[in-house]
Structure 1
Amino acid sequence: MGTSLFSIQTQNFNNELCNLSTISELPKGKVTLKVYKSFHTDSTLGTANLSSSSTSLNEGTSGSPTRQLPQPFVIPSFSFDVELKLKQGNEACHKDGTLLDPSKDMKSDILDKLAEAIYVHNPYPRPEEYDRVAQALINKHPCLREPGSVHGWYCWKFSLKFKMGNFRQKLRVASCSELKVNSRTTGPAGSKRLKRAKKSEVNFVPDFAEGKTESNLEMDRSAMAIEMTKRKVDRQQTDDMMNNTFPLRRKEIVEPLVAEVKERWPALFSERQIEAEFARITSVDLKGSLCAGIDQYLVRFLELYKAKSGIMRLTRLTRQLDDDSSTQRKVHVLLLGLPLFLKEDPSCFFKTVEPTDDEDVFTKGMKVGIVMVKDGEDRIDVAVVLEEAVILCGLNNIQSAVAMLMGLLFALNIDYPKELRYTFEFIQKVLMNIGGRQCSSLVHGVRTCLLRKTM
């Protein structure tokens, strides 16, 4: 919202500037008019909304790494003197094959710039990513090849690994949130368990926004908790406060119990906020991405299911389509059959219960899962279970339940269960297309088989 402020300079006021609200107040004599534009924002209107935060997440700044190194990796520019020496070295290398012997300072400058460029995308690169960066360096500057090395970049790779460790330590000392969380030690022997992005999160542990502190964000959290106790909750105000308190919430959600998070952040446990939190973390539409993946692979998947005649439980699932071939039933069969197709046991993941069954009984031993409540042949409810407790209920179908479960696993930083690691990996990397560049051989093989008929 903008307002105009008029300033005049006249001899009647000793040539001093005076503020006016309307032009009619100007004196009839000769004056100098200057117009200034001033802007102010109301505190309720100035809060960031989800769409703006999603845009900033997609930009990938040093505070919000994008988690995957681009292919090919772009080598940054170095300092002027280093670039000059590299230019001369590359010319000599092309002319007669002479290799450059970089000085200690030159090598340090190269590694520093590479570490900064790597961190923008991933603070904890994988071994193969170090390989790609070292190879890209040699491809751009062949004079830096190592004599006697098979690929010419073996030592550069290990120098980069050490440099990244030193670089992370510097940022940790500078209180970079995502790295500082890994300075804590756990266990009696002081062993460390690194808290790092594992599911291609864009914003894992973001820093506080400028002007925000833990104390004033804690005030917002308390106000939001009170708001959630009201019969009629102000959804817009809750959305704004959830967005503003996102950095505080991510610092807390490292590995707490779900019950503790629910007590402190009750607003998080609704479909609306789970979708919003997922978008803050990944910059991806939760339900939209899953729906798009299912639409793309649905027909081909069912063909593969029917071809697996040796898996009796999968065959019984596909036979349901003989009586009901609706799209909703097909999606139901696809999701329920996915663990079976990937040769995993879904017995502790998908459960069907009666309305009269005791919740404490059917959730026992269920760390992560989905429960379908049926009264005879009619499904009356679908619920999400985490840590042996029903976290979210009243869902329409299996697809919505799977989407909400994925959103909660990201929002609460919960690892995928080991017994269903391929199922969740497939949902994330193939159906939702998040971090799909790197996947296990099993998931990659299934995706390749699907694409042969869907492309």
Structure 2
Amino acid sequence: MERFKIRVIVTDQDVEKVALDVRPQTVEELKEIVRRHCNLQYEFNMMYEDPDFGNALCNLNNMDEVPAAATVKVVPLITSVSPEVTSNSSDISISSADTVILPSSSRTQGWPEVFSIPNFSVDVEFRLRQANLAYLKDNKTFKCPWDIKRNILQVLSEEIYKFDTYPDENRLHEVARALIGKHPCLTEAGCTDGCSGWKNSLYYKMGNFRTKLRKAGCAEVSINSSKNTPGVSKGLKRPKRCEVNFLPELPEREETLEAVRFLLAEEMKKKNPNATTVASKMDQTFSLRRREIVDVETPVETLKERWPALFTERQVFSEFNRIAATNLNDFFEALDRYTPKFVSIFKTKGGGVGETLTEFLQQIDLRKQDVTALRTLVLRGLPVLLGDDPSDFYKTCSVTDDDGVWAQVSIGLLTVVDEDAPVGPNVIHLEPVSTAIIIEGSVIMDDLKSLPEALCILFGLSYALHLDYPKSMKNTLNFIQKVMLGLGHNKLPPKLQSLKNVLLS
């Protein structure tokens, strides 16, 4: 008897051959065979190449239409669910475990300090409760059936996605530990931490979940659809510095948002733009702006023409809050909190580093407790402590100098001083004529009050414009991000960790 053979197209890169002794009688029977053979964990329909139409694809509704050697294509069923439905995850049954949830708006918070495990479907919660009781009584772990594990991983992946589309290994480990903390019956006896298997399963589940998101049109993962060559991660556009809203979905049609952008630009041409109007339209057009910055990679000069409001102090702070869900003013709070300790460290350092820090200290009258002066002292001394070279970042010029002083500077701060003011690599200017921000060799913002204010705004712009930290100041800016602002849970490099230990001692 001739065998029934089918060629199954799962994706363009995943094509399977299936040979059966008996021809399936129904489409549902064939779908179940394909599901098992290809290990598919989502709902799908099927199409087949119809020889009557030159092997064009047609919907598969009747097995009588399928030839003995046929090519069929898997078509995933991906739906979007409203926030009202997803808010009550305990009511989601296992049969809907592969539903993809696209965000209807921007995220409002970053990764939680303690990850809270949500409720699973009613029947899964019941079985876990019984297994937990058995574990507490007899220390007997639960051998998790596939249907239950499937529901657990799906619900957890949706919960993770609320905070992070590309969670790293540390965050997945946090979730796995929280899972066995809430449901000890799921502890794995074969590993030291009891959850390594769950962490690995979450890793692959999140990859599978992102694939479904990409097919559903999610911008944050679709942006990398042409860069998903196996083993190649260079150039992937994804959050690098704990951006909560890296590339949010467009809430309206792009044409509508472009019209709002135009009105916003017109408002900024006024001598006194309406702050409320500007703030409202900047909120409304946030997703459009992020697409231009992250996806299109629009030059900064062009962005300044199209989005003049983004280059105002108020909107830099607001944009940072939209992206990182953190108040940029926390920079000053942390700086003031650590200043006494920094001053003590500066005084005790020796060698070449100590000489430079002593020069800084001699220019500041510590008895006056001038907040701006103390902040400037710390920000000038911090790169020296961390081994950075700030010579191409902190630039100084007189009011009569031309732009040759900063034309080659990719990112930096420019202090403008009077002609007769002293100039040198270790000179601190507490009363400059002005301070400016340089990006891509051009002055982007000027007339700023002080170096601390300018550095804070520049840090906010690095998020708003998706800029890489300059290599010469990478340690300093990473310290500001991870220690002072608490953005990032990755292991700190030795220099940063040592300084953090001293500050907290």
TM over 0.5: same fold? yes
Alpha-carbon displacement from aligned partner over 1:133-183 (angstroms, at most 9, x marks no partner): 222222332332334333332222111100011111212222223222232
| Structure possessing the higher relative contact order (Cα contacts under 8 Å, 6 or more residues apart) | 1
Instruction: Map 1:348-359; keep pairs closer than 5 Å.
Output: 348-359=392-403
Matched, 1:177 2:224: no
Alpha-carbon displacement from aligned partner over 1:55-75 (angstroms, at most 9, x marks no partner): xxxxx998517342432x322
Alpha-carbon displacement from aligned partner over 1:386-441 (angstroms, at most 9, x marks no partner): 11111111011111101110111111111212332220022223333444786444
From 190, 193, 216, the equivalent of 2:256 is: 216
Alpha-carbon displacement from aligned partner over 1:302-322 (angstroms, at most 9, x marks no partner): 111121132122221111125
Change beyond 3 A, Cα 1:62–1:390: closer
Q: What one-letter code is carried by the residue in structure 1 that aligns with 2:434?
A: D
Change beyond 3 A, Cα 1:115–1:271: same
Instruction: Map 1:100-249; keep pairs closer than 5 Å.
Output: 100-185=142-227, 193-209=235-251, 212-249=252-289
Q: What one-letter code is carried by the residue in structure 2 that aligns with 1:350?
A: Y
Q: What one-letter code is carried by the residue in structure 2 that aligns with 1:352?
A: T
Name the stretch that deviates more: 341-350 or 324-333: 324-333
DSSP-derived class of the 1:393 partner: strand
Q: What one-letter code is carried by the residue in structure 2 that aligns with 1:444?
A: Q
Per the TM alignment, residue 232 of structure 1 is displaced from its structure 2 partner at its CA by: 4.6
DSSP-derived class of the 2:445 partner: strand
From 73, 76, 101, the equivalent of 2:118 is: 76
1:258 matched residue in structure 2: 300
Per the TM alignment, residue 116 of structure 1 is displaced from its structure 2 partner at its CA by: 1.2
Matched, 1:294 2:335: yes
Change beyond 3 A, Cα 1:155–1:383: same
1:15 matched residue in structure 2: none
Matched, 1:448 2:501: yes
Asked if structure 1 preserves the Cα contact closer than 8 Å seen for 2:105 and 2:249, the reply is no
Asked if structure 1 preserves the Cα contact closer than 8 Å seen for 2:110 and 2:324, the reply is no
Per the TM alignment, residue 272 of structure 1 is displaced from its structure 2 partner at its CA by: 2.5
1:36 matched residue in structure 2: none
Alpha-carbon displacement from aligned partner over 1:175-211 (angstroms, at most 9, x marks no partner): 2232222324399x996523222223332222233xx
Per the TM alignment, residue 370 of structure 1 is displaced from its structure 2 partner at its CA by: 0.4
Per the TM alignment, residue 380 of structure 1 is displaced from its structure 2 partner at its CA by: 0.8
Q: What one-letter code is carried by the residue in structure 2 that aligns with 1:338?
A: L
Change beyond 3 A, Cα 1:269–1:200: same
1:64 matched residue in structure 2: 107
Q: What one-letter code is carried by the residue in structure 2 that aligns with 1:106?
A: I
Percent identity over the alignment is: 40
Output the CA distance in 2 between the equivalents of 1:270 and 1:111: 44
Give the root-mean-square deviation of aligned CA atoms: 2.7
1:424 matched residue in structure 2: 477
Name the stretch that deviates more: 389-398 or 247-256: 247-256
Alpha-carbon displacement from aligned partner over 1:186-240 (angstroms, at most 9, x marks no partner): 99x996523222223332222233xx22111101112222333344544433232
Q: Please, what TM-score do these two structures have when normalized by structure 1?
A: 0.78
Output the CA distance in 1 between the equivalents of 2:293 and 2:367: 42
1:370 matched residue in structure 2: 413
Per the TM alignment, residue 374 of structure 1 is displaced from its structure 2 partner at its CA by: 1.1
Output the CA distance in 1 between the equivalents of 2:218 and 2:108: 12
Per the TM alignment, residue 295 of structure 1 is displaced from its structure 2 partner at its CA by: 1.7
Q: What one-letter code is carried by the residue in structure 2 that aligns with 1:162?
A: Y
Output the CA distance in 2 between the equivalents of 1:323 and 1:114: 53
Which structure 2 segments of 5+ residues have no match? Answer: 1-102, 422-430
Which structure 1 segments of 5+ residues have no match? Answer: 1-59
From 131, 135, 138, the equivalent of 1:89 is: 131
Asked if structure 2 preserves the Cα contact closer than 8 Å seen for 1:374 and 1:381, the reply is yes
DSSP-derived class of the 2:458 partner: helix
From 307, 313, 326, the equivalent of 2:356 is: 313
Name the stretch that deviates more: 82-91 or 110-119: 82-91
